[in-house]
Amino acid sequence: MGLRGFIAKRLVYMLILIWAVITINFLIFSMLPGNPMEAYVAGLKKLDEERYNELKKHFGLDKPLHEQYILSLRNMLTFNLGISFRSGTQVSDEIFQRRLPNTLLLMGVSTVTSIIVGMLIGVIVAYKRGSLLDTGMVTVSLATYSVPIFFIGWIIIFIFAIQLGWFPTGGTVPPTWGRLPPTNIIETITGRLSHIILPAFTLFLFGFGGWILLTRACILETITEDYVLTARAKGLKERTILYKHVLKNAALPLVTNVALSFAFMVSGAIITETLFSYDGMGLLTWKALTPPALPVLQSIFYILALCVIFANFIADLLYGVLDPRVKYG
Amino acid sequence: MGEKMATRKEKMGFAFKRFRGFWKQFKRSKRGVTGVGIVVFFTCLAIFAPLISPYEAIDPQVGREKYPYFGPVTGRKIAGSLCKPTWYKYVPWVPRGQVKLEERFYNLIIKEYGLEFQLFGREGEENATDIVLRLTKRVATVESITAMFPNGTSRDLLPDEWKLDPMRPREISIVKRYPDGTRFTVTYLTGTDVVENIEIVPDHTFTSSESFDYWTWQTTHPELVSVNYNSEKGYHNDGCIEISYNPTGTLGEKANVTLSRRFEYPYMEPPRSFFIHYSICVEGSPDSEVIMNIMFYKETETEPELFPLIAIPKQPGPYSHDGITSIRPEVIQNVKCSPATDRIFATAGNYTFSVQIIFPEEKNVKVYLDNLDCVIYGNAFGILGTDNAEPFPRDLFSSIVYGTRVSLIVGVLSALFSTLIGLFLGLVSGYVGGIVDEGIMRFADLLLVLPTLPLFIVLIVALQQVAGFVSIWNIIIIITFFGWMSFARSVRSMVLSLRERAFVEAAKAAGAGKLHIINRHILPNVFALVYVTLATSVPGAIILEASLSWLGLGDPRVPSWGKILYDFNASGTAVAMGLTEYWFWIFPACICIALLATAFILMGYALDEILNPRLRERR
């Protein structure tokens, strides 16, 4: 089987995962004893008759279970996520046009920086294993690993936003943009940047400790291999050995972890966004919690899961392309 | 059989020896010992929480059932809301004494029904609704009031352009009308202090005769009025103060008796609020009414300053209960200031709390006083202050101590369960193989891919819809169910390699069954991994539980660290000022979560170093 077959297989696997996510969503909301969705929609009846009828139709609550299931499959696949109770707009519009791009930007920036910085430090630390730097960095990353992200965020707000006053405490864009939108590109970039730096830094700190530990472990795994000894015997420079021979081989398990860490970062992003009132999926989650809006939460989970599944798909492909030892199939 | 097998005692001896050897190795790892130390510390906190924490964590009240006015089981609150820690008084940079403050206001001219109103609002706040400049602190002296006009010019107001009513020392009324959008900056001196609660009455239910000795009493007619301790007539028959009035002939004037208790108010700043509770019962003929006066006196060099709080007539009948709180101005008929405490405790000094009974009719009367309490609530309380729960603010230190229990239970139990599930599924998947293996691993892959927190949120909110609330057991089950996958994977790969080893082959050749091989040959080899995973998966569970509670999805009935943080989030003070001013509300809980999680990680790391010798050699 060639590369095309490999991609096809991964693609099928991805589709199965998407189907599983939709099914899980359906199971949680319709099969849990007491049927949460029905309870939720029935709770709405007193408040808003029109809304109640609309939701009932959207979820097909008057139809038998298997038809409900097929309806939910169709709704989810076509991103027909219903109409928002608060704004009256399509939930999918709100998510795709505003929330998701913001979240992806935030997560992209912080994930990429945390991977690069974490891997660099990890390599250095693994090379100087047993030194003071090593012990220090490992302890630091163990600590960042175990410090809850809201604590990191609060400390960062406290230091950089309140004490030093360098950046705003929260928001996505400067509040004045509502009245007078930015006129030139530089203003747009600086305005957005000043609001994204602190949450991105928080997420970065949340993620990079794990990368240090992982890189260190992977490098230690390969550094004692025979070919490294051979390289050394050949008289290659330490730097060449480290980056060309060791890191290249150690990087493979790291690639798979990129996708998994994406799922991990999603959890962090939800809390970070709430903390910084950053207008993304996380803030939407927080807003959908009081009072609980089940359909919105369901959509958020579905979209975020889709993103993670897609990231996994890309990582799988990358892995296949990067590692010549992977036999397609 | 007994001869060859080791006895139970010997077995325990072996186990003990093994443990000693292990501990000897473990002691060498500084990280591990630190971790164990922290975990032991928190475990002690959790076990001895009722002894360590002075108050209940969820709904703390003082003297339940002792304040009948509020209800049969209710007590009084332990402190005002949002108190700072009491040790602030030892911190040198916390301002105490006289300080200068500056506050800014804007004005707004509103035209309604042909009339013009000038309203004032605090700068940065949404609406202007006050007709006066309402300052946050009581004014000692106004230094200056500067008006900045919309055209950019500014000037200080002259003393006759504003007025400060001595009865309302927080409100400055502006006499003249100024153009719309004028900004005022008020600079004033005020007292600021760390005010602790003062309990004026030591034993307010009068359970013993000593409690009566704290009180002094005086009367206009000592020959007719007597005040005693009565051990039987109190509310719930537990003792009270008995005042009897036996007039002889016609007196021509009203007799009265005053019970008082002197106390010192040592602070520069008025308290947040005060609270008075009393139960009174009058015995006598139907028309023998008495009048009850409650007041505070302040001693001054000349005449004492009097602050009457309430004056009510009481007819004969059974016990009636009443309370005066300074946050309910309608009860405090004679205290004209809001908040009332501003005037009463404006400065430090010696005060007297007194209850006066006046006998307008010359009839034989007996008056019983019980549950007579007076508490002054300051702005500082406990080791870590209080939160903003209403009507009973919580002691944050107690919340943190009790929160240890939740974090430890959730963390350890979900780690234990998920490790066990992972171990079991990993063993099955690795050893049985085939379709079972494929099924389990694909399922694990699926669960690994799902973003955890959004899924948990969805699950918990769905549970909330059905059951009304989520218990911590629900949370443990959910965390367990989504926590076993990566461990199952590593157990499986380990089993796959162990399965091919020579000793397993040998056991198979000797005719050992599958169960025997798993039990005797594979499990012991996997177990090192189990300990490490146990330790390293606790922090994840702790943080996950804290994050869920942080989002308000925890069990509302148990005090967890995350719940403290959620209360902070939901209080609305969370932004900017909240962090600096109320750091003691969130940072201790955050530090506890981080410490406990770090401790388990350190322990896991140390275990890994010992039990996974390969790593040790490399280092």
pLDDT (tens digit per residue) in A234-286: 888 888 887 777 877 777 777 777 777 877 788 888 888 888 888 888 888 88
* A154 contacts on B by Cβ (under 8 Å): 579, 586-587, 590
DSSP H or E segment with residue B543: helix B523-550
Per CB-CB distance under 8 Å, the chain B contacts of A290 are: 552
Contact between chains at B451 and A266 (C-beta distance less than 8 A): yes
Residues A207, A315 within the same domain? yes
Q: Is any Cβ of chain B less than 8 angstroms from the Cβ of A207?
A: no
* Residue A104 contacts B where some CB pair is shorter than 8 Å: no
Q: Give the count of beta carbons closer than 10 Å to the beta carbon of residue B111.
A: 8
- A35-39, B182-186, B372-376, B427-431: the lowest-pLDDT one: A35-39
Least confident segment among A13-17, A169-173, B34-38: A169-173
| Residue labelled with tokens 């702790």 | B542
CA dihedral sign, ordered B42, B44, B50, B53 = negative
Least confident range of A144-158, B158-172, B384-398: B158-172
Residue type, position A205, single letter: L
Angle at CA of residue B405, ends B403 and B406, nearest 5°:
70
What six digits make up the tokens of A294? Answer: 């089940």
Check CB contact of A131 with chain B, cutoff 8 Å.
Answer: no
> Which site among B39, B461, B567, B591 would you substitute to test the A interface, given the most A Cβ atoms closer than 10 Å to its Cβ?
B461
Give the end-to-end CA distance of chain A in Å, rounded to a whole number. Answer: 6
Total tally of structural domains belonging to chain A? 2
| SS3 of residue B256 by DSSP | strand
Is there a contact between B550 and A130 if contact means CB atoms under 8 Å apart?
no
Report if residue A23 sits inside a domain: yes
Burial of A294 (0-12, 13-18, 19+ CB in 10 A): buried
What is the share, in percent, of chain B residues with pLDDT greater than 70?
93
CB B212 within 8 A of CB B241: yes
Nearest Cα neighbor of B333 from B317, B306, B309 is: B309
CB contact under 8 A, B539 and A285: no
| CB < 8 Å from A in window 400-459 of B | 446, 448-455, 457-459
Residues A106 and A206 in one domain: yes
Q: Is B599 left (phi over 0), alpha (psi -120 to 50) or beta?
A: alpha
Write the DSSP symbol of residue A35. -
Most confident listed range (A160-174, A176-190, A261-275): A261-275
**What is the distance, to the nearest Å, from the Cα of residue B54 to the centroid of all Cα atoms in its chain?**
11
Contact A151/B590, CB-based, under 8 Å?
yes
Closest CA of chain A from B446, distance in Å: 7
* Cβ atoms B170, B101 nearer than 8 A: no
- On whether the CB atoms of residues A199 and A276 are closer than 8 A, the answer is yes
| pTM metric for this prediction | 0.84
Of B451, B565, B594, which is closest to A147 when you measure between CB atoms?
B594
Nearest Cβ partner for B450 among A43, A139, A305:
A305
Q: Mean pLDDT score of chain A, rounded to an integer?
A: 80
CB contact under 8 A, B458 and A139: no
pLDDT of residue B619: 39
- CB neighbour burial string for B219-255, b if at least 16 within 10 angstroms, e if fewer: beeeebbebebbbebbbeebbbbbbbbebeeeeeeeb
**Closest in A32, A224, A266 to B453, CB measured:** A266
Asked, for residue A33, whether it belongs to a domain, the answer is: yes
Residue pair A95/A80 in contact (Cβ under 8 Å)? The answer is no
- Chain A residues inside the 8 Å CB shell of B594: 143, 146-148, 151
> Cα–chain-centroid distance for residue B589?
12
Q: Is the link from the previous residue into B339 a cis peptide, with omega within 30 of 0?
A: yes
Token couple for A272: 């970070």
B330 touches B204 (CB < 8 A): no
Question: Is there a domain that residue A84 lies in?
Answer: no
Q: Which of B607, B67, B8, B21 is nearest to B325 (CA)?
A: B67
Cβ atoms of residues B586 and B564 within 8 Å: yes
Q: What percent of chain B has pLDDT over 90?
A: 7
Same domain, A135 and A14: no
Find the range with the poorest average confidence among B133-147, B317-331, B333-347. Answer: B333-347
Domain identity same for A167 and A293: yes
Do residues B542 and B554 make contact, with C-beta atoms less than 8 angstroms apart? no
Domain's final residue, options A77, A105, A135: A77
**The domain spanning residue A261 has which CATH number?**
1.10.3720.10
Phi (first) and psi of residue B32, to 5 degrees: -60, -45
Would A284 be classed as within a structural domain? yes
One domain, residues A103 and A178: yes
Judge residue A141's burial from the number of C-beta atoms within 10 Å of its C-beta, 0-12 exposed, 13-18 middle, 19 or more buried. Answer: buried
Enter the tokens of residue A76: 């989810």
B259-273 residue pLDDT tens? 999 998 888 888 888
* A321 has a pLDDT exceeding 80: no
Q: In this structure, is residue A329 part of a structural domain?
A: no
- Do both A263 and A176 map to the same domain? yes
Decide: residue A328, CB within 10 A, 0-12 exposed, 13-18 middle, 19+ buried.
middle
Q: Where are the strands (E) in B455-533, listed by range?
A: none
Distance (Å, whole) CA A284 – CA B30: 44
Shortest CA distance from A222: residue in chain B: B618
Residues A246 and A282 in one domain: yes
CA of residue B553 relative to chain centroid, distance: 19
pLDDT at B331 over 70: no
In chain A, % of residues over pLDDT 90: 0
Q: Is the pLDDT of residue A153 over 50?
A: yes
Which whole number is the average pLDDT over B413-422?
92
Asked if the structure places residue A40 within a domain, the reply is yes
Which residues in chain A are contacts of B575 at CB distance < 8 A?
A: 169-170
- How far apart are alpha carbons B39 and B44 in whole angstroms? 9
> Exposed, middle or buried, B416 (CB in 10 Å: 0-12/13-18/19+)?
middle
Judged by a CB distance cut-off of 8 A, whether residue B101 touches chain A is no
Q: What is the pLDDT of residues B336-360, one digit of tens each?
A: 444 456 667 877 888 898 899 988 8
Residue B530 pLDDT class (50, 70, 90 cuts): confident
pLDDT at B64 over 50: yes
**Partner B contacted by A139 (CB < 8 A):** yes
Q: Which residues of chain B does A157 touch, with a Cβ-Cβ cutoff of 8 Å?
A: 579
Measured between CA atoms, how close is A300 to chain B, in angstroms? 7
pLDDT at B321: 85
Alpha helices in B368-433 (DSSP H): 396-432
Q: Check whether residue A145 and residue A266 sit in a common domain.
A: yes
pLDDT, tens digit, 9 for 90 and up, residues B187-246 = 988 888 888 888 888 888 888 888 888 888 888 888 888 888 888 887 876 788 888 888
Residue B181 CA, chain-centre distance (Å), reads 41
Ramachandran assignment for A268, one of left (phi > 0), alpha (psi -120 to 50 degrees), beta (any other):
alpha
User: In the prediction, which pLDDT does B37 show?
Assistant: 92
Based on the domain organization, do A68 and A108 belong to the same domain? Answer: no
Give ∠ CA B30-B34-B36 in degrees, rounded to 5: 115
User: Does residue A209 lie in a domain region?
Assistant: yes
Tokens representing residue B239 in the block: 């003792």
Helix, strand or coil, per DSSP, at residue B271: coil
Q: If you count residue pairs, one on A and one on B, with CB atoms under 8 Å apart, how many are there?
A: 152
Contact A147 B580 (CB under 8 A): no
Helix axes A36-47, A49-59, angle to 10 degrees: 160
Which residue of chain A comes nearest to B456, CA vs CA? A301
Residues in chain A closer than 8 A to B454 (CB atoms): 266-267, 270, 285, 297, 300-301, 304-305
Asked whether residue A312 is assigned to any structural domain, the reply reads yes
Q: What is the pLDDT of residues B35-54, one digit of tens each?
A: 899 999 999 989 998 888 88
If pLDDT is split at 50, 70 and 90, which confidence band does A324 have? low
Residue B592 CA to residue B589 CA, distance in Å, equals 5
Closest CA to B79 of B384, B308, B342: B384
pLDDT digits (tens, 9 = 90+) for B544-569: 899 889 888 888 888 889 888 888 88
> Encoding tokens for residue A45?
């009846």
Q: Quick one: tokens of A135?
A: 């012990």
Q: What is the ipTM, given to two decimal places?
A: 0.87
Same domain, A136 and A210: yes
Q: Which amino acid is at B455?
A: L
Whether residues A32 and A103 share a domain: the answer is: no
Output the pLDDT for position B480.
Answer: 92
Q: Determine whether the interchain pair B550/A151 forms a contact, defined as Cβ–Cβ distance below 8 Å.
A: no
Looking at the predicted structure, is the pLDDT value of residue B427 above 60? yes
Which residue range is the domain that position A20 belongs to?
A: 3-77
Nearest CA in chain A to B604: A142
CB distance from B117 to chain A under 8 Å?
Answer: no
Among A28, A146, A270, select the one facing B601 at the smallest CB separation. Answer: A146
Which one, of B264, B121, B268, B265, lies nearest residue B189 by Cα? B268
Chain mean pLDDT for chain B: 83
Whose tokens are 């943009």? That residue is: A177
The reply to whether A14 and A146 lie within a common domain is no
What CA–CA distance (Å, rounded) separates B49 from B53?
A: 6
A138, two tokens: 């490992």
User: Which residues on chain B are in Cβ contact (under 8 Å) with A162?
Assistant: 576, 579-580
Q: What one-character DSSP code corresponds to residue A167? A: S
Take residue A56 and report the two structure tokens written for it.
Answer: 């009932």
- Rounded to a whole number of angstroms, the CA Rg of chain A reads 24
Contact B598 A142 (CB under 8 A): yes
Q: Mean per-residue pLDDT for A287-311?
A: 84
Whether chain A has a CB inside 8 Å of the CB on B124: the answer is no
CA pair distance B576, B570, nearest whole angstrom? 14
Measure in Å the smallest separation between the Cα of A181 and chain B Cα atoms.
22
Would you call A297 and B461 a contact, using CB atoms and an 8 Å cutoff? yes
Select from A39, A142, A312 the Cβ nearest to the Cβ of B602. Answer: A142
- Cβ distance A285 to B593 less than 8 Å, yes or no, reads no
Mean pLDDT of all residues in B2-21: 75
Tokens of A316: 């799988």
- Count of C-beta atoms within a 10 Å radius of residue B34: 16
- Which residue of A lies nearest to B594 if distances are taken between CA atoms? A147
Among candidates A157, A266, A294 on the partner chain, residue whose Cβ is nearest the Cβ of B454: A266
Could you say which of A23, A47, A77 is where a domain stops?
A: A77
Most confident stretch, A164-173, A318-327, B390-399: B390-399
Residue type, A47: L
B241 or B14, higher pLDDT? B241
CB B264 within 8 A of CB B350: yes
- Each residue's pLDDT tens digit, B372-404: 888 888 888 888 888 888 788 888 899 999 989
Are B601 and A145 a contacting pair at CB < 8 A?
yes
The predicted pLDDT at position A121 comes to: 87
> Quick check: B449 and A305 CB within 8 A?
yes
Which of A77, A109, A132 finishes a domain?
A: A77
Q: How far is CA B390 from CA B79, B85, B328, B467, in A?
A: 11, 19, 14, 25
